[in-house]
Structure 1
């Protein structure tokens, strides 16, 4: 739970002094405004709250009149009103004008109001150090001038700062002092006197509002001090007081109490009730302010994780963080665990990118926190883990770089293998297409005579010798003697009762081949004819077919088949089987 009351208290404090009623109307003319007196201009300013154009016109007219008369306090009131209209950086300039004009004046409101306005605007831009410095200056002046309302308002902000950034026991002690002032008769009478007659403010409800704020301060102090019994005591007191309260921000007070109970259940390890309380708040999520949505999702996520529902819990933590980012919420010390838990989650699942992202955010948040701790509570700085976090970040980045290099090498290797695979695929497809053309050509070829009709020889032999050898070759082919894997030129010449020289010359001259080619062609022709006509033979292994055709092994058969036909016997068989299936 974050402490947002200080921002709302300024609104209530101003309500004590002025009537603030939103109006929508046409722009007020300078002629008309010039006709009004100071009190009428202030009344108009209060009535046109939220209408920045008319507010500026009214404030500048008030300032112009005061300058003409040389009235320093009225000039300060003009700058005071201008310091409430614009963005913080512009408001700060006008607040400085309030201070410089009234620094030497002994006035009950100024220059303390100038410092209050500066403190408020510094808080809006998340500069807690300068906010505190200005509130302290305002407090010292308010005490001298005995302005109780200013003192109470300033103490409210100082309590908030101390409980967030400083010594929590000191914050509780300061709250005791504030509570005593509020419950004094002097303070109640002071409210009556300082409230404008025409403001139409319910003094009783205004006072109950102050008592509610006092109880809330106690709740916040005791919760942060882990005084859970005291926290519950003041929660009960606040609930009773709310029954009498029917004024501004009642819904906010009720939601705030529910939010405190959600956190209290979590700190007491009653995680199921913490989840129930969170659900109750999220059911009216549209009415929750961004920092409350962030906080409710945070504690629901943490409680779910504690009950073993890690995945669902992380989902709520991510919702909480999304609210932080979308609304640029400043993370306070109690909110830091949101980033720590998410960092550890991403570390556990090996998500290095998000792990580093949350490490960076923690270091960034810690750096901002250390500026505040250095001012409010220097001893807290030693509790920060920034060096360890930076070391963890560097280690993780080094590991990630190594993994990225390794991944890059693997990716390059994969790309190389993919390229090789593609090249092989292209080669395979082209080769298959080539085989198919060669197969089709083989299927279209008609059987032709192996013998050359030419009778011209490189070396003259007698016709009787040639005819005798050719007749015996025909018998050799018909008898399939070439299937004998032991046949040689010498053994065949001996079988033909001639010499090897004559046989070689006839084969070469008449057939146009050497002996080895002649035998291989006979065997391959035999194999092709057999494979084409005999489906059973196709079921044989290549080794078995090779042996059937006169080869000693499958390798020499496949090489000879490929050399003759340009395709391998396995492809030839495959295509024949496919052709049969189609038919």
Structure 2
């Protein structure tokens, strides 16, 4: 296996750009102008009628049936009717060459195994007529179908047979078609790059001499240049690879036949070549230009190639994160495409080692499983490469490593069982706290709104003396005059905001009022329905709430400064009193005031 073999879909490109030599053209009579008019008439006739009745088809000429078959290339059921009609007509008239053509038509619209049988029949009936072109085409078509089924050995045998018949016919076109196809299999599918390169050079000379004759020859010429560049890169003959990459790109730039897709191949191949040279920044620049083309033309294998050489280049620049990123992109495209070549497997080896070092066993196991599944596919599709693949990637050791990882994961699950229970408990507690906090926020919001709805009458601590019910002798055991005098002094005390003075005590106020502390305490408890400390604190908090609502400047104060403004000795006592009075914290109240 050549670990640097870049798969740039040369096979698909050459098959796409080469106009196939149809069996309809391989008659022992040269096509002339008369036949051309017959085909044109048949084609126009087909456009004016959609009748596919069996009896009507049987009345059509061979040329009409051929034209009809060619026109409806996307309608297999209808094509079967035309092909059957052609074959039945040929058998009825016992025309072996026509029978061979009928079987060829059938081979084009049936599955692989039936198509092979029909192509076998083509060779049998062609040989009866001593026609050398039909076996050539039949063997070539058989080879193409076997190639598509990845039966490379049998495909090469059939290409060789096709070339042998082509030599009998002196058909250079088919000789080099067969050689080019064999070269592609040897280079892309069997890793025999040196043998393929010699065949590519032969094709390069042939198509170079004839590139001016037909567009398909020109396209085959440019595709062969690419194949040579790719082969040199795979053999690490990097200067030669760059030479042919530049040659192919210039050729495409200089011609009227634009092929952006193939141009993108040369750019990407040069990026891979620069990567192997160690010119990582140049490689990245080339891939930056090539990747959008690969995406535009849905070249998924070449997207894999782009991501792979991105990763190798970033690895060369010691950018681990980007290396991992692009190797993982290789895997993402592979998962969609369900196909990968041996060249791009190294990325999995890198990812396995990377996640092993990080201790991420599950990702390590994921990429290890993917690598082993790829190996099983490669053993089927790349039998010639299996031994070297096993040597490079040490599959038996990877299997043992897989078992170790699985065992380690089982142990981790056991040891983590208790942790998971604990985590579950923590999650439940966290959910409870979140729910509680949510409810608390709702309650805070309601309390804030209630505070904002209170009437702002200038001084919310004002008390009208007329509203205070007079105290009778038998109410509290205090002389009526003394009790009412204390009440009047409390009104004045509140109006003058004397409660804002720090270090107020019951004894201080009683002394100022000219009464005893017991009487003052009794009056406050009875008429204010709260103990002395709570009475003072509530007055202070009500004052501060009013000031904060009406004075934007105070909102900029610290909590400590506001506490001192209210007569509290410290911020903690103020915050506690504020919460008891309003149900919210002063910081929350100020924040909501600013927001609103």
- TM-score, length basis structure 1: 0.60
Residue 271 of structure 1 corresponds to: 280
- Once the two structures are superposed, residues 421-443 of structure 1 have per-residue CA deviations (whole angstroms, 9 ceiling, x without a partner) of 9xxxxxxxxxxxxxxxxxxxxxx
Query: Which sections of structure 1, spanning at least 5 residues, go unmatched?
Result: 192-201, 422-534, 536-577
Contact 2:368–2:398 (CA under 8 A) maintained in structure 1: yes
Contact 2:9–2:302 (CA under 8 A) maintained in structure 1: no
How is 1:137-156 mapped onto 2 (pairs within 5 angstroms)? 137-143=161-167, 146-156=170-180
1:67 counterpart (60, 70, 91):
91
- Once the two structures are superposed, residues 363-382 of structure 1 have per-residue CA deviations (whole angstroms, 9 ceiling, x without a partner) of 22223323455457977765
Task: Report the secondary structure of 2:133's partner residue.
Answer: coil
- Aligned counterparts of 1:182 and 1:325: Cα–Cα separation in 2: 38
Q: With a CA cutoff of 8 Å and minimum separation of 6, indicate the structure with the bigger relative contact order.
A: 2
1:100, distance to aligned residue in structure 2 (A):
5.4
How is 1:158-557 mapped onto 2 (pairs within 5 angstroms)? 158-164=182-188, 165-182=190-207, 203-243=213-253, 245-247=255-257, 250-284=259-293, 285-328=295-338, 330-375=339-384, 382-383=391-392, 385-408=394-417, 410-411=419-420
- Aligned counterparts of 2:157 and 2:397: Cα–Cα separation in 1: 32
1:143, distance to aligned residue in structure 2 (A):
4.3
- Aligned counterparts of 2:390 and 2:228: Cα–Cα separation in 1: 26
Is the alpha carbon distance of 1:3 and 1:64 closer, same or farther for their aligned partners in structure 2, counting shifts above 3 Å?
farther
Residue 80 of structure 1 corresponds to: 104
How is 1:59-138 mapped onto 2 (pairs within 5 angstroms)? 59-99=83-123, 101-102=125-126, 106-138=130-162
1:257, distance to aligned residue in structure 2 (A):
1.1
Contact 1:305–1:313 (CA under 8 A) maintained in structure 2: yes
Is the alpha carbon distance of 1:244 and 1:63 closer, same or farther for their aligned partners in structure 2, counting shifts above 3 Å?
farther
1:222, distance to aligned residue in structure 2 (A):
0.7
1:45, distance to aligned residue in structure 2 (A):
3.6
Task: Report the secondary structure of 1:111's partner residue.
Answer: helix
- Aligned counterparts of 2:359 and 2:139: Cα–Cα separation in 1: 51
Residue 52 of structure 2 corresponds to: 29
Contact 1:166–1:377 (CA under 8 A) maintained in structure 2: no
Is the alpha carbon distance of 1:242 and 1:216 closer, same or farther for their aligned partners in structure 2, counting shifts above 3 Å?
same
Greater Cα offset, 151-160 or 120-129: 120-129
- Aligned counterparts of 1:154 and 1:77: Cα–Cα separation in 2: 21
- Aligned counterparts of 2:217 and 2:75: Cα–Cα separation in 1: 28
Is the alpha carbon distance of 1:166 and 1:102 closer, same or farther for their aligned partners in structure 2, counting shifts above 3 Å?
farther
- Once the two structures are superposed, residues 130-151 of structure 1 have per-residue CA deviations (whole angstroms, 9 ceiling, x without a partner) of 4344434444444455443222
- Aligned counterparts of 2:142 and 2:393: Cα–Cα separation in 1: 30
Is the alpha carbon distance of 1:378 and 1:318 closer, same or farther for their aligned partners in structure 2, counting shifts above 3 Å?
closer
Contact 1:129–1:372 (CA under 8 A) maintained in structure 2: no
Contact 1:108–1:145 (CA under 8 A) maintained in structure 2: yes
* Cα RMSD for the two superposed structures: 4.1
Contact 2:207–2:218 (CA under 8 A) maintained in structure 1: no
- Once the two structures are superposed, residues 330-364 of structure 1 have per-residue CA deviations (whole angstroms, 9 ceiling, x without a partner) of 21121212332333333333332232222222222
Contact 1:212–1:241 (CA under 8 A) maintained in structure 2: yes
Is the alpha carbon distance of 1:348 and 1:141 closer, same or farther for their aligned partners in structure 2, counting shifts above 3 Å?
farther
Is the alpha carbon distance of 1:415 and 1:292 closer, same or farther for their aligned partners in structure 2, counting shifts above 3 Å?
closer
Is the alpha carbon distance of 1:149 and 1:381 closer, same or farther for their aligned partners in structure 2, counting shifts above 3 Å?
farther
Contact 1:168–1:225 (CA under 8 A) maintained in structure 2: yes
Contact 2:18–2:220 (CA under 8 A) maintained in structure 1: no
Greater Cα offset, 81-90 or 349-358: 81-90
Q: Looking at CA atoms only, which structure, 1 or 2, has the larger radius of gyration? A: 1
Is the alpha carbon distance of 1:370 and 1:216 closer, same or farther for their aligned partners in structure 2, counting shifts above 3 Å?
same
